[in-house]
Structure formats: C-alpha cells, structure tokens
Amino acid sequence: MAPVAPSRLGLWEAVRVGLRSLAARKLRSVLSALGIAIGIASLVGVLGLSESSKSALLDQISALGTNLLTIEAGTGFGAGDAALPETALKRVGRVATVEAASAVYSIDVGAYRNELVPADRTGGIQVFGTDPGLVRTLNGGVAHGSFLTAATTSYPAAVVGSVAAERLGIRNLDQPVLLYVGGRWIEVQGVLEPFALAADLDRAVLIGDSAAESYYEVDLAPSRLYLRVDQEYLDETRGVLGATVDPENPEEVQISRPSDLLEAQAAAESSFTGLFLGLGAVALIVGGIGIANVMVMGVVERRGEIGLRRAIGATRAHIRRQFLTEALTLAFLGGAAGILLGVAVTYAYSAVQGWRVIVPLAALLGGIAASLAIGAIAGLYPAIRAARVSPTEALRSA
Amino acid sequence: MNRPRENLAAPEPEAPAIELREVTKQYPGSPPVTALDRVSVRITRGEMVAVVGPSGSGKSTMLHVMGTLDNPTSGSVLIEGIDTSVLDDNSLAAIRGRRVGFVFQRFFLLAGVPVIDNVANGLLYAGVARTERREAAEAVLDRVGLGPRMWHRPEQLSGGETQRVAVARALVHDPAFVLADEPTGNLDSEASQSLMDLFASLHGEGRTIVVITHNESIASALPRCLKILDGRLEQDTEALAR
C-alpha cells in the first residue's frame, strides 16, 4: 500500500474558506472591518485633500509668480523712520535683471465719498501716488473701468482697490463716481480686483504720480517699490538691491518676497496634515483591535468547527493559516472600502473647492499595506490560539 | 505543506486495522482524570464493532485515540500497523484525512453552506480540486440516498437526513475506517435504524466500522461489542466467543 499522502490546503483554498466563514457572519464581519475602513479612509482622505489643496496653493503661487520683490525702508538703528531715497525707482530700473518696477508714494490725505464725511472717518483707506505700470508689475486685474495710463496720470483721476471700493460703496462705474480726496474732487476711473501678493493695496486709492505732485504735498521718497525680477537671478539680484537703492545705508533697505507668505501657508497646512494622519493611525489601531477581538471570540465560538476540520485532516498549520487568512481578508476588505471612501471624499471636497484632484499613489499602496499589516498583527494571536485548540476538547465542548 | 516522504510510514497490508496496546489516557488536573486505563484491543479489517458504556466511561476518548485525534498518555496506537506515537502532527492529520472518517453526534455541518459543499469539505485538505470534490460529494450523496437534497442547506433537513450528510462527509474520501461517536444520539428510532442499516451496508463493502452507542438493541445487533467502564475495557464479546 502506498504511503499516506500529506494533507494540503492551497493558498487560494484558504482564502475561499476564509471568505465563506466571513460571509456566514456578515454583520459581524462588516462591523469589524469598519474600523479599518474608517482609519484607511481618513488616511487616504487627509493625504489626498492636503495634496490637492497644496497643489491648488502652489498653482496660485506659480500663477502669481515667485519673482516679485517688495522694497521698503527698514527702521535701522538710530535712523528713526527711514525713507527710501527719491531716486530709488530710477536706480533699480538700471539693474539688468529687474524686468519691471513700480513705486507707490504715500499721500497724507483721506479719501471720502463727499465733503460732509468727518476727516477722521478714513475707513482705513490710504491714498497713494503711483505710475501706470503698477498693475502689470503686480499681475493684478481691473474689475471695472481702467487703470491709470500715461494720459491720465497727470489728471485728477483715481483707481480704487477692491476693499476700498467696498468701503466707499462703489459697486460699478456705470454712473460717474467722484471722491473727495484731500479737499479736491477726483473722478474714479477704475476699480481693481484683489491683489494676491499686495493685499495692502486693496485698501488704497491710487492716483497718478504726476497728478499727486501737482495737487498734493507729496514726499517724493517712495514708500514701497514693487519689482519683477528675472527668476533665474532672483537671489543675486536680491543681494545687490540694498546697495543699489540706498548706497549710503544699504542695511536700512528691507527687501521681501510676498510669495514666501503663501509658501509658509502651504507648510502650515502640511503640519496639520501630520496631526490628522496621527488621528487616522489611531483609528486604524482601534480597527485592528476590533478585528483581533472578533477573531478571539471566533476561536472560542468555533471550537466545534476547528475540531471537525482537524478530524477531516487539517493540520495545526492549516487551522492557523485559515484564521490568519480570515483576519487578513477582513482587514483587506476594510482597507479597500476605506480607500474607496477616502478617494470619494477627496474627489467630492476637491470638486467643491475647485481644486485639481490629487490622490497620492503612496496613500493607496500605503493604505493596502497598512491594512494588511494590521490584519496580520490582529490575526496572529487568534490564529495561534485556534491552532492550539485540542481537537478532542473542541469536539466535546462545542 | 509537503513534508519529507520518510515521515510518512506506509501502512502494512497484513496488520490489524486498529490496535491499542496498554493505552492509558490521563487528563491533567488535581487529581488527574484517567479516561482510559491500560486498554488493549485489536480490531481487524472489515470488522463492525459497537462500543457501549455509561457517560464519562471513556468511550469517546477511546474513539478519538483510535482516530489519532488524541494522543495516549502511555501505551501505543497502531493504525494499519503504523505506530502513531512516532508521527508528527502533519502525518497524523494525513491519516485522519485519508484513512479515517469521523461521524459525530452533533453533525458539525457548516450552517448556510449547501449539503454538497459540506460533504465536499471532507476532501478539503486532501489536495483535490474543487470540481472533483463536488463530483465525489455528489456520488457519495447518491450512495446515502440524499442526491435530490444536495443543494439544500443543512438547516432545511430532518435530523436523520442531517446525520446522513455527516456520514457522506465521512465517506467522501473513501476511508478504510469509519469511527462514529453516538451517531444515533440525536435521532428518533426510525432514523436510527435507517442509519444503522447504512452502516451495515458500508460494513458489507468491507469497511472497518466502530460505533459508540447508548442503544442496547443497536449494540446487541452488531457482531462485536466492547463494554467500557471507568476507562477500563470491561467486556469484549469477541474474547468471550473465543
């Protein structure tokens, strides 16, 4: 007679046996997989949403350009309120890598809707003189009317920032709008869209520099310069600008890059992502404990089944493998559901926000890997216990 | 899970089907419980044996030891001449999966799973493809008269039919022995008689059959009867006949 052939159970058979066992306890299986699903969904959702929102922010930054610099007078030691030299704009224009430059000059008057408004009710609106190139330098847009041109720069005409327009009650320019600025009537010829990189100009009333000189007492020292610089030579240009603007006191010239702020915002959002990922990981661990709990209960409840399987030829290893496979299958199904949920949430929220949807591949693969790892850890102890169940005891006590 | 071949002893054709030599089984505890006390018995091929005795006398333990589900504390168990004490878990599982068919009082069928798949499960660990398992299950269900019921679920069957499904599962891998632990315990007298007729016909096919029973009339109808009391073999009708 031939030797007795060993027992065997293929991997696929083990998966099928596991699926059948899970299907026999549907509600319990679904509930125990739910924890993993929620954990993975939150991981995928958080990663997807943070990537999508960051990409939206980066898109905005690159659309606005990271090559905008602003130059202000710093407050140097013993310098009091330092001012930029009157010739600052001309000088920076001589730097070869400066593509465009505009200046704003502060005019110390208020802008009012009419002469009856008390002088102290400025509404936080500042009046600046500027040149026609400002909007182009800032990549800004005009909502109504037009910006200052070479023709209007010496006339009593003004362009109003978006916030200033709202505060002054200017909705559109269908009817001519006059403002009472520094004891003189000035016509509004344009309303601007918000500036992303120069938010303080949103609260400004802008007048042509020649007009400002003729009608008001203007300090011709610019309050601020806006520069577009060749992106490739940004750092080099930044290095020479201080001495160019004010050769005597280069250290009192303060140069900044507004897009740094947006990048800081992106970085701040990333740090929140870390926090939410941590919360997702906690959900995942709790989900794993749920699976372990259900599997341990299953070992006790299914002693009869374990005993029977041993009686029809299962080895301890087969029993161990079956329970481990069940835990892995449960965790995998939970993880897959979680990924679908997380991607759906990312799509839905990005669609509402108008973001480009980005679901990082690492989140998907990581989600599957994490759920399988959790399933393996959660299933290991119950599987070892199930394999240790004595078949005779199992058949007697079941 | 392929083990080296040398672990698998070949059955000897001339040896008795099952032989217990001075088998003692103790369960740990204080004091330890002795379920079997120096039991020696020899069952030849093709025999049909009844095992009787009161509850807790050690009948089930003896059946489990005979079927390699349990190892004796001392003494040895020989299945077709193979000493099982030298075999590892894999080889014992192989013997159970290939040579032994178990039938239990409480059926142990998987609820919600069709009868045919419950029976096919008897071959689950034998490395047989799923379609072949089903074919074998179909054949053996016809053999026990449940062919028309094979797509029913166990909970849709009567007690007698359910036990026939369990017998079919025990037979699906064509075992040399059938070990039945009170198979009629949950059945009415008519179903019991019909089940015993089935065992008798399996016996007629040359299979070795050991049946634990409480039922005196069933036991007395079988050719040989072992009486167990307090873990000891009290009476063996074959020995009396000699």
Query: For the segment A356-387, what is each residue's pLDDT rounded down to a tens digit?
Result: 888 888 889 999 999 999 999 999 999 999 99
Please report the pLDDT score of residue A398 as a whole number: 45
Are B61 and A392 a contacting pair at CB < 8 A? yes
Please report the pLDDT score of residue A316 as a whole number: 93
Are A1 and B12 a contacting pair at CB < 8 A? yes
What whole-number distance in Å separates Cα of residue A352 and Cα of residue B201?
74
Please report the pLDDT score of residue A50 as a whole number: 85
Q: Considering CB atoms only, which of B93, B102, B181 is closest to A315?
A: B93
A8-44 burial code (b ≥16 CB/10 A, e <16):
bbeeebbbebbbebbeebeeebeebbebbbbbbbbbb
pLDDT one-digit tens code per residue, A196-221: 778 888 999 999 988 888 888 877 78
Residue A122 in contact with partner chain B when CB distance is under 8 A: no
Residue A4 in contact with partner chain B when CB distance is under 8 A: yes
Residue B142's closest CA among B171, B99, B177, B100? B171
Q: Give which of A11, A301, A308, A318 to mutate to test B binding, by max B Cβ within 10 Å.
A: A308
B87-124 burial code (b ≥16 CB/10 A, e <16):
beebbbbbbbbbbbbbbbbbbbbbeebbbbbbbbbbbb
Are A6 and B60 a contacting pair at CB < 8 A? no
Beta-carbon count within 10 A of A106 CB: 18
Mean pLDDT (chain A, rounded) = 87
Please give the residue that has the higher pLDDT: either A193 or A258: A193
Please report the pLDDT score of residue A397 as a whole number: 59
Q: CA of A322, closest CA in chain B: separation in Å? A: 12
Residue A19 in contact with partner chain B when CB distance is under 8 A: no
Are B1 and A9 a contacting pair at CB < 8 A? yes
Residue A169 in contact with partner chain B when CB distance is under 8 A: no
Are A4 and B94 a contacting pair at CB < 8 A? yes
- Each domain of chain A, given as residue ranges in start order, spans 11-61+263-397, 68-257
Q: Give which of A315, A319, A325, A396 to mutate to test B binding, by max B Cβ within 10 Å.
A: A315
What whole-number distance in Å separates Cα of residue A362 and Cα of residue A369?
10
pLDDT exceeds cutoff 90 at A264 = no
Q: CA of A294, closest CA in chain B: separation in Å? A: 19
Q: Considering CB atoms only, which of A4, A17, A307 is closest to B95?
A: A4
pLDDT exceeds cutoff 60 at A79 = no
Q: Write out chain A residues lying below 8 Å of B99, CB-based.
A: 4
Contacts of A81 (CB under 8 A, 6+ apart): A73, A75
Which has the minimum average pLDDT: A183-197, A261-275, A276-290?
A261-275
pLDDT one-digit tens code per residue, A125-169: 999 999 998 988 888 888 889 998 888 888 889 999 999 999 988
pLDDT exceeds cutoff 70 at A72 = yes
Q: What is the phi/psi pair of residue A208, to 5°?
A: -60, 145
Residue A285 in contact with partner chain B when CB distance is under 8 A: no
Residue A119 in contact with partner chain B when CB distance is under 8 A: no
Q: Give the CA angle between residues B186, B189, B195 to the nearest 5°.
A: 75
Are A314 and B93 a contacting pair at CB < 8 A? yes
Q: What is the phi/psi pair of residue B37, to 5°?
A: -125, 100
Residues of chain B with pLDDT under 50: 1-7
Task: Please state, for a pLDDT cut of 90, what percent of chain A lies above it.
Answer: 32
Are B1 and A8 a contacting pair at CB < 8 A? yes
Length of chain A, in residues: 398
Please give the residue that has the higher pLDDT: either A325 or B242: A325
pTM of the predicted structure, to 2 decimals:
0.72
Please report the pLDDT score of residue A75 as a whole number: 67
Q: Write out chain A residues lying below 8 Å of B12, CB-based.
A: 1
